[in-house]
A and B are shown apart, each in its own frame.
Chain A
Amino acid sequence: MLLPRIFAPVRASPHTSSIISIPTTHVLAVLRTANGASTPVSGSASTPFLSFTRHASHQAQGRANGAKDGPGKRLGAKKSGGEYVIPGNIIFRQRGTAWFPGENCKFGRDHCVFATESGYVRYYRDPFRHPKRQYIGVALKKEDTLPYPRNAARRRRLNMVTAEYEPQPEPPTIEEQVVAGDLQIAEGMAKDAKPVQNLVMGKGYAYREANWDIGRAAERANVQVKEFVPGDRWAAWRKSQARREANIEKKKLRNAGKKTKPAKARKRG
């Protein structure tokens, strides 16, 4: 609606360049958007609305084709072929995967290759494993060559030593444990209860009775239970009825202590 009227002076603008008086700055902004930012409105060159456009083809500042010579990253071989390494030694640092970890080696998080066994570094190819890759491995013996024969049993080290081990026959009972002064168990309880034998580590690192031991509590206390007869609906009904009644009783007790809700009271009033 408004646009055609605005366009008219713009179309004329190249011819009558600086003569036109522009009514308001607002209209000028509209004009700029309508005609593109490069409208040759010479009178408005100093206006705050004019700004440069950056095109992809031209870089305003900095070196023309990007920085070429950053600091070196110290990549490359850290251990040469045949050198002795221990587990964790980095053998090769690289960007990407020019070398792959072979026998007794692994990739680090930046594709560096490190040793997982102590031995002698070998740089090799394994066409059966992959036709194009080059591998870095650690041979366990100095005279070994990699890759090891394909179908032979793996050569591996135990890397362990034997030690004396005293099997603990019984875990410590509560009674043996040192109890802080104010945390002592009531004497009566402690005497009634059977000393807790089988302790397991529970959640939160606290020792507790094992589940199977808890399950045996009734057996220890000589509790006699009626034998469960599957399909005995009469017994089942009586049991569920008793439970239902008990629940109703409990509900009554709970509700007795409660005050009536204020909202309801308002309604009544």
Chain B
Amino acid sequence: MAPSVRQFGACLRCVRQSAGANASLSGAPRRFLSSTPVTREEMQSQPSTPPPPSPPPAATPAAPAEAETAAKETPEYMQKWGNLDPEQVEWKRDERRLVRREGIQPVGSRRRRAVLHRSALNGAEQVPFEQLPYQCFQEARKVLLEDRQEKMKEIETMTLRINNLQAQGPAVSGSILAKEARLRSMRNHLNELILLADINDPMVKKRFEDGEGDMNKPIYRYLADQKWRKYKRLILEQRITQLNIVPDLLPALNPIADVDLGFGRKNVSPGEFVDSAISEKMPRLTVQTFQPGEKLVTVVVVDADVPVPEKDSFTYRCHFIASNILISPMQTSIPLQRIEQEDRKTKDTAARKIALPWTVPWAHKGAPYHRLAVFVLDQNEAKALNVVDIRKTKRDDFILRSFIDKHKLNPIGFSLFRTQWDDSMAGVMERAGLKDEIKVEFKRKRIEPLPHKRRTERMR
């Protein structure tokens, strides 16, 4: 037996003990758990739903050109590292080198990469994933395939029924409302079936875990949504309630898109204190939606704790508004810096996206921390907003509720960070033209004690 098979120690019980299987082990080409798409690719085709239009991401055509230039600049010592395959990198050092030289992350677990590497070293050709010679595995695959066929059949009948119902006159199916309700429930069922057809496919699971899932397909969107809801969204929800975002800025908030906030290279988890020097530049946003189709969104950054010492209370301030930004499940990045640069080039003021440019978040010395909330607001029916109109919005005393009502927006994503006085704040404020505010310090107000009761003779 070839030594590489020993890697599957746990599965050895499953190995079919027939002579034919042993022959295939010794002679036949082998390819363990390779992630290259083979015949499985047709399995993931969605027969019923047309895939939403996916504009090719701008990064892909640029990548080879970058790689060429990088190859030219690669120093000599880096070239000595030799060929580094992201699917077969086994050692920590090589992983590090791969990230450093090629800028790619290794794929999958180190254990799997090791197995692939060893089997490649042995010169063994790899068995396609479907033909792995384990009896249990093969039997299980049969069951799963059967189930899938069943689901495909159901999908076909369901689409047929939906088409029939659509063709039917409203008089036959009751009323227009009844027909619509039925259609809606049928479509929901169809979507469920589409998920169920793929959800047990081991290749789908593997591709999702390797980060190779195609977000145009419903199954990968579903898996990503589940993953988000299991950890990141819970934390976000906690921060929304703990930091009182919900009654202070909005009456209710149900985030349905994953928003990653960061400044330059620094990622910011929701609610983190950000150094004022870091937040001087605009943040970058990554918004992952889990619904198909494109969306136009507005990004608003609001400071919810602007102190008003005259009134002994707080007010709001708007730090940033950008509108008409296109996002889709495949197009997740909102690079505000780049959007700003593009805005500068466009002559037409109405075509610009940034309505209110970024002002630095700042806080007085001694004042309580400021919550800076970043909202991603979905525009109604993906209609573009009039940026010239939004530009009239006043920064001070900005009420997010009325802004949302006025422009018919729907909050889909949320993130926040906090800011307070720090060592670099004075410099940041000076550069932002707030030199007078540096000199203002906040101190606790003395609370007058209640007047004592006059002590009577009896009390003494």
Contact = CB atoms under 8 A, between A and B. Distances in A.
A197 interface: no
A231 B445 contact: no
B312 A164 contact: no
A32 to B, nearest CB: 65
B365 interface: yes
B314 interface: yes
Interface in A139-191: 150-167
Contact of A156 (B251, B313, B438, B448): B313
Contact of B247 (A85, A150, A163): A150
Interface string B238-256: 0000001011110110000
Given A118-B447, A229-B77, A231-B80, A166 B439 contact: yes
B307 A160 contact: yes
Contacts of A155: 313
B440 A162 contact: yes
A160 B445 contact: yes
B73 interface: no
B450 interface: yes
B441 interface: yes
Interface string A88-111: 010000000000000000000000
Interface string B288-308: 000000000000000000011
Contact of B445 (A161, A165, A166, A167): A161
Contacts of B447: 86-87, 118
Main SS of the interface on chain A?
loop
Contacts of A118: 447
Nearest to B307: A158
Contacts of A154: 244, 247-248
A150 B248 CA distance: 11
A160 B244 contact: no
Contacts, number: 79
A164 B247 CA distance: 34
B366 interface: yes
Given A154-B244, A159-B445, A165 B365 contact: yes
A84 interface: yes
Contacts of A156: 313-314
A26 B348 CA distance: 115
Contacts of B308: 158
Contacts of B244: 154
Contacts of B312: 157-159
A86 B367 contact: no
A216 to B, nearest CB: 18
Nearest to A169: B426
B441 A230 contact: no
Interface in B389-446: 426, 438-445
A232 interface: yes
B450 to A, nearest CB: 6
B448 A86 contact: yes
A160 B307 CA distance: 9
B309 interface: yes
B445 A232 contact: no
Contacts of B365: 165
B441 A158 contact: no
Nearest to B364: A162
Given A157-B313, A164-B441, A152 B247 contact: yes
B449 interface: yes
A102 to B, nearest CB: 15
**CB-CB nearest 4 A-B residue pairs:** A165-B441, A151-B251, A231-B77, A160-B442
Interface of A: 84-87, 89, 118, 150-167, 229-232
12 contacts: A89-B450, A118-B447, A150-B247, A152-B251, A153-B247, A154-B247, A158-B312, A160-B366, A161-B442, A161-B444, A162-B442, A164-B439
